[in-house]
Structures are given as C-alpha cells and as structure tokens.
C-alpha cells in the first residue's frame, strides 16, 4: 500500500504512542527500536512470529501475531510497511479513527530530526556499507545512532540510539523512501536498475538518485567503480557538495589496490589522494565487500575520524544477517544464506562463495523475489547462477504481488548455462529436495530476499 508522506514531520518524541504494522520487517523493526529506546510507547503487529518479533518482545515492545483493529486502542500514530494491503484491518481502523497514518519513510525522518544523518543509498551493498560505517565510527569513539537493514553480528542489533548526535541510516530506494530524507552526508554504493515495478523505467530509477543527491547538505561518497554512481559526480558538484570518489579505479580519491580474497577474508591497501593509509583487513570475503569498506572509510574520514581506528572498526565487522551468513555445518556440508535477489548481487555472492568453498562443490538454492523482477531479470538471474556447480530454483516469492502464470521460476532454470539446474517447488519442501542432492564437502548457499531463509536451518536439522 502506498501511503502519502506528510509535509510536516515532527520529531519522534511528539508522536505519542506508535504502532507498527509489519513490525517484523527489517526497516520497521529498526525504527521501532530507536523510538522505544527514546522512551516512546511502541507496539506492533506482524503476520507471522519470527526471531525479530521475539527479540522485540524481549526488549519490552508489545508485539502481536496477526492483525486486529483492537491493536490500535490507545495509539496516536500508525506506521505501516509498504507490503501491507489496503484491506488490512489495522489500516482500515486507522483510517476510520483518523489517527496519524505514515509510511516507513516518515517514521525514519522523524528519528532524523535534530540529528546529523549520514544516509547510505544504492541498489546493492547498502546494509553492508551501513554496518561497516557504524562499526568504524564506534571504534573511532564517535558513538553514533544507527539504523541498518539487517542485524549486524558485531553490533548485536539492527538499530540503537547512540550518545552523539550522529545517525548512520540505510536509505532504501525501493519505494522512494530515501527521497524524503535531508542528510548531512551520503554514500551511494551503486545505481543498477531495480524496483521497476515502482519506478517504471531505468531512466526514472536513475533520476531518483539525482533527486536524492539534491537533498544532501554537505558531502557525498560515490563508488568510483560504478558507472551509475559516477553519473552523480556532476550533479553533486553543481550543488556544491564535497565529493569523494572511493574504489579501485585509477582516478579514485580514496583508492584501493592489491586486493586479495582468501577464504573468509579480504585484504587490500588504501591510499587517500596518493597518501598511503596502510593495510585493511576485512573479516568478510569478496571484491564487493572491499568496495563497501572503501566507501565506509571515506565517510569516516570526511567526518574527521582517526584513520587507524576506522580501519580497526572495519576489521571488526563480521557481517550482517542474510549477507553471506554462515548458518552452520552438518554432515560435512557448510550452509550459508544470503539476501541476493538481483543478477549483480547473485554474481558477487557466488564469487565470494567460491572463495569460501576453496575448491569444494558449490550448490545454490535460489528463490526469486517478485514476479515483476523475475519478468525483467529472469534470464540474467539464470546466467548469474551459472557460476554454481548445481542450481535448484524454488517458486517465486510473491510478496506484495499476484502470481502470473506466464512468469515462473522455469524462466530462470532454462537460462542456466553449464551446471545442472532444476525446479525446487515451494520453499516449504525445498529442504527435502536438497538433502538427497548434497554430499560431504559441499557448500550450500541459499539465496533470495523471501522466506528461503528458513531452508538452511531445515537442511542443517535434517543432516544432523
């Protein structure tokens, strides 16, 4: 459901009691945590119980499983996920009562009021870059608040109120949320057309990032290795922003070189305007993580933080939930889970998985996310999955969309070139499909932004 963003957004402390519809989602759970930590009365509901919902309950937040109009008793403000439909009983009741009804972006904006915000935007890598920057700033003593699109292991949460006025926030473009922020500084990881169900065209998607840059007040760090991010150099400079290019390109201001990806680590050297900053060791594998680290380091440097402490914080970052996350090992089979759902992300994660696998067979179970995305990128998804040794593709995760019999997972399977590929059916039965196909030494990687996250634990349980 698309809920309009109000013109006047007061600080969170002025919202009264706040109820979240879809509180188990990454975005809303972060906002709920930040509000609750400021003493605001917070409640929420979600269609399903989950580890996130249970964690919120343990923190004192009233969370309901299922939606009911009675959940709005005593509520002054309702914040809803874009995945919530118009006939949701809590939406209907909020409109009937005339209480304040906001989308996620307005809730995040209310948190930003009175804080110096650094917003991290981009098609891919937002969560990792936001987590890396937060870890780096904490190590440097900057004590920021943060809101991240997944729980970060080394932080123990996806959101927390810090002691300073600095806020590091993941800025999601999927529904245009990032256009309603006015950050002091920003990072753009890349611009690679996605969410065309919302934007309509590749050109409109790219133009949204230009609008985002127009909302930034001080500085922007752009990925020197991404053409879409580089296209923002001119508009950013025209606005008078300080621009820092970070990456491995020869003309990068903050340049990485000598990248080595080995096992579960990455190592590189970094130099700012030709001045060596020393070695950087990352506890996550992959060239894309090295790029994210350079962007985070650039933001920390523009904020005036100590370079050695920032690098130490980057090393301390050990990953986020569903970002090449090691779930466990059983029967000699290592199981990883990752959020990749776009061809670019699939390629990057498969490259990282190859490093971790160290010669072992790489089995990938993939769940496409959204009919609209599969229609546009299904063939490219299959081509990207061709980097595995065995591919099983589950049914499409519909999320907010309706099924289309003309667009199925077969579109992806048919495009896989090289490794054996097959349909896996519903996610609920995917573990039973996978286990007979696995053998000791394999690395199993489950990929997708939907509920395929349940498959890895089920496979481990069966193997145990």
- Positions annotated as catalytic residues are 126-127, 170
51-58 and 26-36 helices cross at what angle (nearest 10)? 0
C-alpha–C-alpha distance, residues 51 and 128, integer Å: 21
Do 279 and 263 touch, CB atoms closer than 8 A?
no
Do 366 and 447 touch, CB atoms closer than 8 A?
yes
Q: Are strands 145-152 and 157-160 parallel, antiparallel or unpaired?
A: antiparallel
Comparing C-alpha atoms, which of 26, 28, 12, 22 is closest to residue 76? 12
Comparing C-alpha atoms, which of 26, 128, 21 is closest to residue 85? 21
3 state SS of 399: coil
Count how many Cα atoms sit within 13 Å of the Cα of residue 355 in the half-sphere of its side chain. 20
Helix (H) / strand (E) element for 353: namely: helix 343-357
Comparing C-alpha atoms, which of 313, 357, 310 is closest to residue 336? 357
User: Rounded to the nearest 5 degrees, what angle is found at the Cα of 324, between the Cα atoms of 179 and 264?
Assistant: 125
3 state SS of 333: strand
Going from the C-alpha of 253 to that of each of 267, 304, 369, the distances in angstroms are 19, 16, 36
Phi/psi zone of residue 332: left (φ > 0), alpha (ψ -120 to 50 degrees), beta?
Answer: left
Handedness of CA 26, 151, 124, 434 (dihedral sign): negative
């Amino acid at each position: 459901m698309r809920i309009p963003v109000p013109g006047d957004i007061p600080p969170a402390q002025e919202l009264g009691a706040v109820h979240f519809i879809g509180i188990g989602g990454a975005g809303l759970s972060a906002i709920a945590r930040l509000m609750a930590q400021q003493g605001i009365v917070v409640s929420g509901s979600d269609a399903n119980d989950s580890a996130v919902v249970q964690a919120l309950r343990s923190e004192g937040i009233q969370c309901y499983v299922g939606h009911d109009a009675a959940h709005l008793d005593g509520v002054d403000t309702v914040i809803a996920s874009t995945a919530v439909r118009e006939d949701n009983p809590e939406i209907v009741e909020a409109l009937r009562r005339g209480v304040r009804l906001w989308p996620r972006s307005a809730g995040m904006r209310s948190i930003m009021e009175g804080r110096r915000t650094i917003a991290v935007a981009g098609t891919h890598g937002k969560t990792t870059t936001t987590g890396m920057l937060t870890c780096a700033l904490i190590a440097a003593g900057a004590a920021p608040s943060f809101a991240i699109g997944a729980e970060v292991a080394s932080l123990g949460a996806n959101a927390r109120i810090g002691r300073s006025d600095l806020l590091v926030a993941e800025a999601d473009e999927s529904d245009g949320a990032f256009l309603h922020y006015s950050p002091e500084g920003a990072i753009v990881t890349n611009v690679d057309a996605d969410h065309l169900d919302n934007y309509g065209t590749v050109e409109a998607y790219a133009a949204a990032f230009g609008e985002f840059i127009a909302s930034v007040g001080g500085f922007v760090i752009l990925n020197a290795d991404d053409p879409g991010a580089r296209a923002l150099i001119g508009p950013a400079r025209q606005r008078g922003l300080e621009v820092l290019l970070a990456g491995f390109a020869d003309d990068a201001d903050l340049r990485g070189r000598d990248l080595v990806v080995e096992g579960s680590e990455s190592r590189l050297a970094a130099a700012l305007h030709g001045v060596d900053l020393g070695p950087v060791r990352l506890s996550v594998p992959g060239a894309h993580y090295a790029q994210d680290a350079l962007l985070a380091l650039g933001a920390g440097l523009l904020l005036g933080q100590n370079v050695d402490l920032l690098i130490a914080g980057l090393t301390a970052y050990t990953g986020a939930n569903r970002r090449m996350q090691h779930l466990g090992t059983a029967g000699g089979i290592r199981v990883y889970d990752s959020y990749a759902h776009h061809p670019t992300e699939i390629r990057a994660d498969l490259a990282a998985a190859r490093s971790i696998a160290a010669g072992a067979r790489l089995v990938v179970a993939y769940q496409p996310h959204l009919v609209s995305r599969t229609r546009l990128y299904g063939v490219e998804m299959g081509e990207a999955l061709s980097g595995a040794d065995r591919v099983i593709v589950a049914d499409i995760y519909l999320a907010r969309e309706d099924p289309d019999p003309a667009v199925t997972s077969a579109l992806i399977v048919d495009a896989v070139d090289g490794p054996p590929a097959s349909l896996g059916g519903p996610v609920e039965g995917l573990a039973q499909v996978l286990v007979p196909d696995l053998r000791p030494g394999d690395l199993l990687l489950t990929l997708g932004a939907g509920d395929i996250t349940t498959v890895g634990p089920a496979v481990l349980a069966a193997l145990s």
